[in-house]
Each structure stands twice: as structure tokens, then as C-alpha cells.
Amino acid sequence: MAAERRAEVAWEGDLAHGKGMFNVGSGAMSDMAVTWASRTQRSEGRTSPEELLAAAHAACYAMALSHTLTQQGHPPARLDVTAVVTFEEADGGFKVGRSTLTVRGRVPGLDEAGFEAAARQGEQGCPISNALSNNVEIRVEATLESE
């Protein structure tokens, strides 16, 4: 079984001054504005591919870590994940350079060392991390909150 997801973009104009609108097949996001300026300067209510990648990476990682912890017998009470994706100049062009995942978790019966180990293992089980690996530096910062 393979799940397919769809997104569509309409772009008008050149790169620097143009603009785009995208929709996702699920209907969860529609008529979302994207511009070059929202990628490189201020977002001003518009998004960017890197922001969407950050959202996808944070959500995927939260699911993967939740699964990892549950498989280890420590289902989490709560995980708060932030992903920060960098868009940077490189070799005369641009690239996504890094995705930093920061997770804070409440996990009954687990100590800080166990949480940090699970956090790293969870990253390895995240399909978005795996899609990025060998192309984008991925960092994981984990903090266990007291119960």
C-alpha cells in the first residue's frame, strides 16, 4: 500500500517579484500565498517551502518519536516538537542546509538519558528525516520535562 498526497501551485511573474498560490489535496490548506520574499526576508503572512518542510519534519518526527517511545514501553503523555529549517546560499545557488528538531517531552517512567536516546532513535525512524538524510544536516535537541 502506498499513500499519495497532492499539492498544486500556480505561479505568476518572475522569481523576485512574482507570487504563487498553492492548495493541498486534503483541503487543509487552500489559497496559501508564497513568494521569494517570504523565503528570504519576512513572511508577512505568506509561507515558504522551507516553512512547509519544517512543519512536515516536526509532525513526522513527533509521530516517529511517539511510536519509538511506545514500542519501548513508555508512551508519551505529551511531545512538543519544533523544527527550524535553514535556507542558505551555497555554491552560487541556494539550498536547505539544516533542520534542527527540538523536542520537549513528558514521558512517565523515563529518565533524561533514556529520553535523549529515544529522541535520536525516533529521528532515524522518521520518513521525512530519511528523505532529507545525506542532503540536509539534521540536529536533535531533547529535553525531558518532569511529570
- Average pLDDT of the chain is 95
Q: Which CATH superfamily is domain 49-144 in?
A: K homology (KH) domain (3.30.300.20)
Q: How far apart are the C-alpha atoms of 36 and 39, rounded to whole Å?
A: 5
Q: Please report the pLDDT score of residue 29 as a whole number.
A: 94
Phi, psi of 63 (to 5 degrees): -65, -45
Q: Please report the pLDDT score of residue 23 as a whole number.
A: 96
Q: Please report the pLDDT score of residue 146 as a whole number.
A: 81
Confidence of residue 43 (pLDDT cuts 50, 70, 90): confident
- The domain spans of the chain are 7-40, 49-144
**From the centroid of its chain, how far is CA 115?**
20
Q: What is the pLDDT of residues 76-94, one digit of tens each?
A: 999 999 999 999 999 899 9
Residue 52, C-alpha cell as written in the block: 512547509
Contacts of 68 (CB under 8 A, 6+ apart): 118, 121, 122, 125
38's enclosing H/E stretch is helix 36-40
Contact 60, 48 (CB under 8 A): no
Q: How far apart are the first and last CA of the chain?
A: 39
Q: Please report the pLDDT score of residue 1 as a whole number.
A: 83
Give the mean pLDDT of 45-57.
95
Residue 65, C-alpha cell as written in the block: 518519536
Q: Please report the pLDDT score of residue 93 as a whole number.
A: 92
